[in-house]
Structure 1
């Protein structure tokens, strides 16, 4: 029961600080509320206690501390604003600094995964304020492109359960949001973020119910197709078309990387649906051929 109360408190604090972050008058206030919202996720780790919580929590705190130091250094010293960009890239878990995301999500609970996937991503709306072109813009573009390529390949090598699969999706969504924050208008970015939050929340609720269960039946396959497979009439196809159009406006390089990942993801899902039928929450049998 204590874990439930801590988790409710955690979610409320994340929502409050993430909302107040938009009312900050300068980058220093943005950093303050960003760190408060990041720290607010910590109580959610204790919703369920198991052997993996402490390593996961330790990794999250270490990454939060390092990224916070980089961000505030760039904010305080204008000539080192590139440090803030590197800190945000680390916080969002883009290539090559994405290993910590897997450690945190795989060994925590679905509430932590939801917080990382939705509420804490609102900071990407401010990412464009840290870039004025030049090396910073080039660095962001390269990191996003290689994130798409790396995760598109990694998907076939390191997917042993639903949480692994969603972590791949979450990392690539972060890369897509970041690359859009540089080129797309703020109004469109807000619509993109709201659509992403609704879709990702539905998917996480669905996958969390499947975690650790043996599931079969037509309703299960229908929800997999409706939420995850880009089939005509499915929810995800509208989401991906909308996001794809936005990424396309960010340049051919970023768009090609985004297409590579999504083609890889859809082939993986279809292969598992046809070959293994996804009767379990563990996908090891689908990829060990």
Structure 2
């Protein structure tokens, strides 16, 4: 039985399904293209264990009219599947990794998720950031980046936030109170960011809760590292539930955890953080208080 991280297989399946649907090709027709059964092809699109060859990937890319960049991404993901076969069920991606260099697993998970729980200790989550707040972060991390590249990143971040209007998606942010206090870009940018957070927190599918400095249980102090939990809807064909993934971002890379025992520990930590976080209304009051202090 194949082992290793499921992330490359899931990502490859989603990309192939998107290309197929874009060209109005049925699964049965796609199965005939790669000379396999509809069941085996269905497993490919759902990211389940199945044999993937570069010859088959190229045949599908031709049939689905993939451009050069799309074809390269499919082949890179297929190569990553083979490289991760012997991993322990987690995936570590150093920032210097170049296979596949044009693909970010977290963004793919975010796009596919039905629910995201984000624990942050210093920064506002990307789905809640204003353009100017994110600009300050980009300039701080990459002071030499060309302005046009900065704007491209900002356009992409703002585009990501469109998923918040999807009523089938739920975003739950649990934030240490320090997130409200750190000023990125100065008081004006920080004030606008907190106002934006308040606005988004009123949406029925968005929850923002603050773990205050004076929380009686020190779980927030123990859980110093931010993390994100992604949960997913049933797979489109088999209706199986796609396993959740924990994402942890570090200074030199990204860690993705998929094993049940590890995911369960982070789910329990998120539950404990939620227990000590202020209710949503009280959290909004805490944000408002911070805004007033910044405006003095």
Q: TM-score, normalised by structure 1?
A: 0.28
Q: Which has the higher helix share?
A: 1
Larger radius of gyration: 2
Q: Which has the higher strand share?
A: 2
Q: Tell me: higher relative CO, structure 1 or 2? Use CA pairs within 8 A at least 6 residues apart.
A: 2
